[in-house]
Structure 1
Amino acid sequence: MKNKIIILLLFFSIQFTSNSLADHCGHDMDRTWFYTSNFSSNYQVSKSRAKYQKWTFKNKTDKQITIYSVGLWSKGKKVMKEQKVRKYLKPFGVVSVKMYVGDLNLDVAGSGFSRCEYGKPVVKKKTYNQKPSTYSKPKTYYKPKTKKRRNDDNFTLFNLFLLAVAGILILVFVAATKKNEYKKYVKKFPKVFDFADQTIICFKKYSTFKGRAQRKEYWYFYLFTFIVSVLTYFIDVSIFRKDPDGILFINAFFSMLTFLPSIAAGCRRLHDVNKSGWWQLISLTVIGIIPLIIWLASKSVKENNKF
């Protein structure tokens, strides 16, 4: 008889606990979260770029639910951070919450967690004591100030500057090919047009590894590739909104376009100082960059030059 009573008690206790677990508010909603780079962003990023943790709660029932807090576990199941939010999730409603995680080491971060209860959030009335100085203010939770993200469609002044620089470069090279029509400008800006002429020569000799190249020819071409590489990088990132950690398409295309002319110009420059063009390979050792730069910047060797 006693054994039957004990079995019945165990059965009812198991049934009660299972019902209580089934009635938990977490079962009545879908919860998802991911990392974002700033407060106003809705795009998922990697841990290395994360500043916020964004939660989205979707109520699947006609019950009223209050989200009291969200947080983040470490891989060792310890609380890394918990933020109280008191967000009301109406029946069949959707609500979002963001928590700042920029001050955490996310390399050890694990899963996220949230706490909820049924019903609307309890609004505490302001209480005044007899003394004005003992007035109890409601608690406020710190939310870091973040700069408002500019609209992706905004054409900023920096974008206009990039296009202006690109336009000036194009005009200089067009004018350099038609000097008779722009004689006044050629006389006023001789170095600018000399820079364009030497760059055009390197492109004309894009696959010429024989012969020589003076310092002016090589370094003007190097200056051109540096300016346009920086320009195309910022155009990719700023105007076309490419990810700096991903592929920069315009910059990559320009690098491929100038790779062979750069190698050919370097080979001719080394010939001019009586060195073989194969010496460019010492740049792969990193330390070899120093003597290579010295040779590329040296004066021409006219006497006893085998090239």
Structure 2
Amino acid sequence: MAGCQSDVDKTIHWVKSSQQKYDHYTKTYKWQYSKKKDARYLLWTFKNKTKNQITFTRVGLLASDNTTSMKERKVNLYVKPFGVTTTTMYVGDLNLDVSGNTVTYCIYGQPKKSSQPLYKKPSTQKKYTYKKPKKYDDNFTLFNLFLLLISGLLIAVFVAATKKNEYKRYVKNFPVIFDFADNTIACFKKYSTFQGKASRKEYWYFYLFTIIVSVLTYLIDVSIFRKNPDGILFINTFFAMITFLPTLAAGCRRLHDVNKSGWWQLISITVIGIIPLIIWLASKPVKEKNKY
């Protein structure tokens, strides 16, 4: 045993972990050295100085009298000729204040079983985990029916608004609803008209219409037509496309009503510009000295 011990240079360190940690500054893996009292592991580094094959069978730690063994660990650690290898032993459960020297046992030759490497660089490849696919209910629910009823009611109001003479009694009983429909229809008739002026009622009723229908089309897309949660909202997207131009035109005419250029709508791009824009859109009309 003495022969193989003299063929190897041994260094001992106290470390915090049994594995090297990645250092982002140097971009390398390093041991986390520590003081003896704070150590969790004892680290041995063996450097073979000869062409002999050496295998370490045990490592351990002695008490302060250097005769009593505090702890030993069986290893099967092969050090190839002129090679370097390391091993650790957990000492976090020991009173290191009374510890002494370390002890190692070795033999010449290869181990019976190849030892596992102390540290294996973690793989960057993500481990695949099976995810159970989500189930979507294809049944026609009461909520779907409610959405269709609301949609039908909204369509009926607009149809009735275009034929007031045939539905006079309903117009008298629900003036706000038909006023809402009239102003919305007016904005659609002026689909691409950027000249002229629009009252507050005309603009905000149309804006309310776009909000209501946007929410409605989104719910219809999600609850009836869209089975994939990452899919496209077809009806909602189509509605946004057909109302984009009349919304710009209505905003332009509303700004003309307060003696502002329609180009002021572009300040909404700055986000903070939305605040003065809303104030202008909600302001009373400017009748005197209005260049529009």
Question: TM-score, with normalisation over the residues of structure 2?
Answer: 0.55
The structure with the larger Rg is 2
CA distance in 2, matches of 1:150, 1:113: 22
Kindly indicate whether the alpha-carbon contact (under 8 Å) linking 2:258 and 2:284 is maintained by their aligned counterparts in 1.
Answer: yes
Of residues 275, 278, 282, the one that matches 2:267 is: 282
1:158 alignment partner in structure 2: 143
SS of the counterpart of 2:268?
A: helix
1:167 alignment partner in structure 2: 152
Correspondences of 1:204-243 after superposition (within 5 Å) = 204-243=189-228
CA distance in 1, matches of 2:199, 2:274: 19
> Cα distance 1:190–1:76, how it changes in 2: closer, same or farther (>3 A)?
farther
CA distance in 1, matches of 2:144, 2:272: 38
2:285 alignment partner in structure 1: 300
1:110 alignment partner in structure 2: 126
2:172 alignment partner in structure 1: 187
Q: CA deviation at 1:110?
A: 1.3
> Cα distance 1:302–1:246, how it changes in 2: closer, same or farther (>3 A)?
same
1:246 alignment partner in structure 2: 231
1:84 alignment partner in structure 2: none
CA distance in 2, matches of 1:173, 1:276: 31
Alignment RMSD (CA, Å): 2.2
Residue deviations 1:35-58 (CA, integer Å, cap 9, x gap):
xxxxxxxxxxxxxxxxxxxxxxxx
Aligned residues: 170
Of residues 226, 245, 267, the one that matches 1:260 is: 245
1:55 alignment partner in structure 2: none
> Cα distance 1:193–1:279, how it changes in 2: closer, same or farther (>3 A)?
same
Q: What letter is aligned with 2:161? A: A
SS of the counterpart of 1:306?
A: coil
> Cα distance 1:245–1:212, how it changes in 2: closer, same or farther (>3 A)?
same
Of residues 161, 164, 167, the one that matches 1:176 is: 161
Kindly indicate whether the alpha-carbon contact (under 8 Å) linking 1:242 and 1:248 is maintained by their aligned counterparts in 2.
Answer: no
Correspondences of 1:135-146 after superposition (within 5 Å) = none
> Cα distance 1:150–1:198, how it changes in 2: closer, same or farther (>3 A)?
same
Query: Identity over aligned residues, as a percent?
Result: 77
> Cα distance 1:109–1:179, how it changes in 2: closer, same or farther (>3 A)?
farther
Of residues 248, 254, 260, the one that matches 1:269 is: 254
CA distance in 2, matches of 1:242, 1:173: 31
> Cα distance 1:76–1:187, how it changes in 2: closer, same or farther (>3 A)?
farther
Gap runs ≥5 in structure 2? 1-120
> Cα distance 1:226–1:111, how it changes in 2: closer, same or farther (>3 A)?
same
Kindly indicate whether the alpha-carbon contact (under 8 Å) linking 1:280 and 1:292 is maintained by their aligned counterparts in 2.
Answer: yes
Residue deviations 1:148-167 (CA, integer Å, cap 9, x gap):
95631x11111011101100
Correspondences of 1:91-110 after superposition (within 5 Å) = 110=126
CA distance in 2, matches of 1:151, 1:242: 9
Q: What letter is aligned with 1:232? A: T
> Cα distance 1:222–1:76, how it changes in 2: closer, same or farther (>3 A)?
farther
- Structure having the higher helix fraction is 1
CA distance in 2, matches of 1:109, 1:293: 51
Question: TM-score, with normalisation over the residues of structure 1?
Answer: 0.52
Q: CA deviation at 1:242?
A: 4.5
CA distance in 1, matches of 2:196, 2:203: 13
